[in-house]
Chains A and B, each alone.
Chain A
Amino acid sequence: MKRYSALGLLKGGFDGQKSWGLAWRAPKPKARYDVVIIGGGGHGLATAYYLAKHHGVRSIAVVEKGWIGGGNTGRNTTIIRSNYRLPQMQDLLEFSLRLWEGLSEELNYNLMFSQRGALFLGHSDSDMTRLAERGDSLACNGIDAELLTREQVRRLAPLLNMDEAARYPIFGGLIQRRGGTARHDAVAWGYARAADALGVDILQNCEVTGIDIEGGRAVGVQTSQGAIGADQVAICVAGNSGHVAAMAGLRLPIESHMLQAFVSEPVKPMIDTVIMSQSIHCYISQSDKGEIVLGGDPDLYPSYSQRGIPMRVEEVAGQAIGLVPALSRLRMLRCWSGVTDMSFDGAPIIGDTPVDGLSLNGGWCYGGFKATPGSGMLFAHALAKGEPHPIAAPFNLGRFASGALIDEAASGPLPQSR
């Protein structure tokens, strides 16, 4: 792997930056691999990278039906934080956040990870009570959380509507200063380049059409580029988890829904933190390019269409303008939609399935991007060791039958109610 550096860039200036070469190969599929990972998003690529790097697995393929990072990895609003309520979720996301903190250096790829702070606003006394509860829970677990007064919030994000008669009056907030954003495409590209350098075959435009099972054990996959044998098959396909698991005869606790995101035209820096809310599902940040990035509620019915409903655009714009009135002057540039794999307690599923040799990493709902490095490392651990890492252990598929659910939102088993 040719390392990227400032000196390299300077040297490249003498030959018009022509000597860089491709960041990863485009190999033909081999007949068999030790591990075949279905899904070339951030989670699949990270899993391949950590399997090769930490566990010495040298024969790995990542099979992607389109192009890497073209699914939810490139469709999210890039927010990274670990300020969850339940300790299992805190441990999982904090494990991930610590990996984010050194990831650009490790991958030798600029992920533009920016710890600009992740702020939750409180709009009522009861919001502030719940934010304080969450902050206390985080502090008990050694994760940074700071309860802010109304005045502190005003200083942090002066463009917020602080009027007492505002549509969403601001009583205060809870901030995780180590939270922030990263460039989502770079995460896929950085992991792909690093994994490729360790010998991982990344097979793009290679759609899995079937999972081969012999004697109750997964032994390979059928793809649009032919059959590929494998000792282990790992599913990392987010919204298509149910579709792919059905190829092995499994029914998952997952329903696929749509989640939309939006960006405005780029403007000069105006919001230098991530703004979220305890009461409304609207989140606002500004990309390094200057676009205001917005997200809101999911579309609340099952769909694989990758097309969102227009009424959600109106709703999110209304909420965003209610929070930051200056946004009303911006033109929207794009909106798009991703397929979220909504699990029935809102927490992910990491580990083995009832089919031997077949593992699953899915059910991340609308919160998978922030978990990418941790998810990859923990899933790689499970694949290599045959048993879950202690942090991933609670996130087993069996919890739905045993009742050990991890219901962060305490909203019950219907995915459209979270």
Chain B
Amino acid sequence: MFLITCPHCGPRSQAEFVYERAEEAVARPDDTTEATLTALYTRENPRDFAWELWRHAYGCRAWIRMRRHRVTHEIAQIASVGAEA
């Protein structure tokens, strides 16, 4: 398990958070069919850092963005949705 520093609440246990999806998985309304398919049904899925969307489900309930390593679980960057990391 790891600590997640919520941009709104500070460091909290991972148990309070829910993984929502990889940021690359966000399909946008004005995307082409091909871009929507890519977002919904393909992933880079790297053994490396990747941007992800999580939700502080048992805290402030805000969605947050984080760049997390998929092997070590190190979190390199974290930000609220809409803010620049």
Contacts and interface: CB of A to CB of B under 8 A. Distances in A.
B55 to A, nearest CB: 11
A416 B22 CA distance: 11
B43 A303 contact: no
Contacts, number: 69
A303 B69 CA distance: 8
Contact of B1 (A243, A302, A310): A310
Contact of A256 (B21, B45, B54, B72): B45
B44 A246 contact: yes
Contact of A413 (B1, B41, B44): B41
Nearest to B13: A311
Contacts of B14: 309
A344 interface: yes
Contact of A344 (B38, B41, B47): B41
B41 A256 contact: no
B45 A255 contact: yes
A297 to B, nearest CB: 13
A255 B15 contact: no
Contacts of A99: none
B22 A302 contact: yes
Contact of B41 (A246, A253, A310): A253
A300 interface: yes
| Main secondary structure on B side of the interface with A | mixed
B22 to A, nearest CB: 7
Interface in A251-300: 251-256, 300
Contacts of B70: 256, 302-305
Nearest to A241: B45
Dominant SS at the A interface?
A: mixed
A297 B70 CA distance: 19
Contact of A242 (B18, B25, B44): B44
A399 to B, nearest CB: 9
A253 B22 CA distance: 12
Given A251-B42, A310-B1, A344-B40, A300 B19 contact: yes
Interface residues of A, number: 25
A399 B46 CA distance: 23
Contacts of B47: 240, 243, 304
A254 B71 contact: no
B19 A401 contact: no
Contacts of B41: 253, 344, 400-401, 413
B9 interface: no
B43 A253 contact: yes
Interface string A215-257: 0000000000000000000000000101100100001111110
Interface in B23-64: 25, 37-38, 40-47, 50, 52, 54
Interface in A324-357: 344
Contacts of B8: none
A14 to B, nearest CB: 51
B12 interface: no
A401 B37 contact: yes
Interface centre among B1, B18, B47 (most CB of A within 10 A): B47
Contacts of B45: 242-243, 246, 251-252, 254-256, 302
21 contacts: A242-B45, A246-B44, A246-B46, A251-B38, A251-B43, A252-B45, A253-B42, A254-B45, A255-B45, A300-B18, A302-B50, A302-B70, A303-B73, A309-B15, A310-B1, A344-B41, A400-B40, A401-B37, A401-B41, A413-B40, A413-B41
Given A242-B45, A254-B43, A255-B43, 14 more contacts: A240-B47, A243-B47, A246-B44, A246-B46, A251-B45, A252-B42, A301-B52, A301-B54, A309-B1, A309-B15, A400-B40, A400-B41, A401-B37, A401-B41
The 9 closest A-B pairs by CB, nearest first: A242-B45, A301-B19, A251-B42, A400-B41, A253-B41, A304-B71, A309-B1, A304-B47, A243-B47
